Structure 1
Amino acid sequence: MKKGKIHIKFVLFLGICLSALNSYSQDLKTYIDEAIANSPEIQKVQFQYGIAAEKVNEANWLPNTEVSAGYFVSEPETRVGAQRARFSLKQMIPWFGTITARENYMNSMAAAQYEELVIAKRKLVLSVSQSYYNLMANKAKQEVLEKNVQLLETYERLALTSLEVGKASAVSVLRLQIRQNELEQSKEVLQQQFLAEQAVFNNLLNRESDMTVVVVSEPKMPLGTEMISEENLKVHPELTKYDKLYESVSKSELLNKKESSPMIGFGLDYIPVSERTDMNPIDNGKDILMPMVTLSIPIFNNKYKSQTKQNQLKQQEITSQKEERLNALQTMLSKAIYDRNSARISYDTQSKNLKQAKDAEEILIKNYETGTIDFNDVLDIQELQLKFQINQIESVKTYYVQSTIINYLTN
Structure 2
Amino acid sequence: MKTNKNIPAIKGAFVILSFFFVLNMEGQDLQSFIKEAQNNNPEIQAFELRYSIAEEKVNEANWIPNTEVSAGYFVSEPETRVGPQRARIGFKQMLPWFGTITARENYASSMADADYVEVTIAKRKLELSVAETYYQLYEIRAKQLVLEENIQLLDTYQRLALTSVEVGNASAVDVLRLQIRQNELVQEKKVLEQQAFGIRAAFNSLLNRDHDVPVETVTELPLPEEETAFSYDGLSLNPELLKYDKLYESVVQSELLNQRESAPMIGFGLDYLPVSKRTDMDLFENGKDIVMPMVSVTIPIFNNRYKSISKQNELRQQEIESQKDQRLNVLESAFAKAISQRNQARIKFETQSKNLKQANDAEEILIKNYETGTIDFNDVLDIQELQLKFQMNQIESVGNYYVQSAVINYLTN
Normalised-by-shorter TM-score class: over 0.9
Q: What's the counterpart of residue 252 of structure 1?
A: 254
Q: What's the counterpart of residue 31 of structure 1?
A: 33
Q: Does 1:217 align with 2:219?
A: yes
- 1:24 and 1:89 map into 2 onto residues whose CA distance is 75
Q: Displacement of 1:229 after TM fit?
A: 2.7
Q: 2:258, 2:309 within 8 Å by CA — same for their partners in 1?
A: yes
Q: What's the counterpart of residue 179 of structure 2?
A: 177
- 1:238 and 1:152 map into 2 onto residues whose CA distance is 52
- 1:395 and 1:280 map into 2 onto residues whose CA distance is 110
Q: What's the counterpart of residue 153 of structure 1?
A: 155
Q: Residue 359 of structure 1: which of 358, 361, 377 is its match? A: 361
Q: What's the counterpart of residue 205 of structure 1?
A: 207
Q: Displacement of 1:345 after TM fit?
A: 0.3
Q: What's the counterpart of residue 74 of structure 2?
A: 72
* TM-score (structure 2 length as normaliser): 0.93
- 1:202 and 1:384 map into 2 onto residues whose CA distance is 35
Q: 1:230-309, aligned counterparts within 5 Å?
A: 230-309=232-311
1:331-385 CA deviation, whole Å, 9 max, x = no partner?
A: 0000000000000000000000000001111111111111111111111110000
- 2:118 and 2:220 map into 1 onto residues whose CA distance is 36
Q: Residue 339 of structure 1: which of 333, 338, 341 is its match? A: 341
Q: 1:75-154, aligned counterparts within 5 Å?
A: 75-154=77-156
Q: Does 1:57 align with 2:59?
A: yes
Q: What's the counterpart of residue 371 of structure 1?
A: 373
Q: Displacement of 1:42 after TM fit?
A: 0.9
> Aligned pair in 2 of structure 1 residues 72, 251: CA closer, same or farther (>3 Å)?
same
* TM-score (structure 1 length as normaliser): 0.93
- 1:276 and 1:249 map into 2 onto residues whose CA distance is 63
- 2:25 and 2:374 map into 1 onto residues whose CA distance is 46
SS in 2 for 1:92: strand
- 1:323 and 1:333 map into 2 onto residues whose CA distance is 15
- 1:216 and 1:247 map into 2 onto residues whose CA distance is 44
> Aligned pair in 2 of structure 1 residues 26, 198: CA closer, same or farther (>3 Å)?
closer
- 1:219 and 1:147 map into 2 onto residues whose CA distance is 18
SS in 1 for 2:29: helix
Q: What's the counterpart of residue 18 of structure 1?
A: none
Q: Residue 394 of structure 2: which of 389, 392, 395 is its match? A: 392
- 1:130 and 1:86 map into 2 onto residues whose CA distance is 74
Deviates more, 1:223-232 or 1:192-201: 223-232
Q: 1:276, 1:285 within 8 Å by CA — same for their partners in 2?
A: yes
Q: What's the counterpart of residue 15 of structure 2?
A: none
Q: Which structure 2 segments of 5+ residues have no match?
A: 1-23
> Aligned pair in 2 of structure 1 residues 51, 194: CA closer, same or farther (>3 Å)?
same
Q: Which structure 1 segments of 5+ residues have no match?
A: 1-21
Q: Displacement of 1:25 after TM fit?
A: 9.4
The one-letter code of the counterpart of 1:270 is Y
The one-letter code of the counterpart of 2:386 is L
- 1:203 and 1:366 map into 2 onto residues whose CA distance is 52
Q: What's the counterpart of residue 17 of structure 1?
A: none
Q: Displacement of 1:77 after TM fit?
A: 0.4
- 1:182 and 1:330 map into 2 onto residues whose CA distance is 43
Deviates more, 1:26-35 or 1:234-243: 26-35
- 2:225 and 2:51 map into 1 onto residues whose CA distance is 41
> Aligned pair in 2 of structure 1 residues 299, 312: CA closer, same or farther (>3 Å)?
same
SS in 2 for 1:291: strand
- 1:387 and 1:294 map into 2 onto residues whose CA distance is 87
- 1:24 and 1:121 map into 2 onto residues whose CA distance is 26
Q: 2:27, 2:216 within 8 Å by CA — same for their partners in 1?
A: no
Runs (4+) of structure 1 exceeding 3 A deviation are 22-26
Q: Displacement of 1:24 after TM fit?
A: 6.7
Q: 2:85, 2:275 within 8 Å by CA — same for their partners in 1?
A: yes
- 2:401 and 2:287 map into 1 onto residues whose CA distance is 95
- 1:29 and 1:233 map into 2 onto residues whose CA distance is 23
SS in 1 for 2:266: strand
Q: 1:10-25, aligned counterparts within 5 Å?
A: none
Q: 1:140, 1:219 within 8 Å by CA — same for their partners in 2?
A: no
Deviates more, 1:47-56 or 1:228-237: 228-237
The one-letter code of the counterpart of 1:82 is P
Q: 1:101, 1:258 within 8 Å by CA — same for their partners in 2?
A: yes
1:61-103 CA deviation, whole Å, 9 max, x = no partner?
A: 0001000101111000011100000001000000111001101
Q: What's the counterpart of residue 48 of structure 1?
A: 50
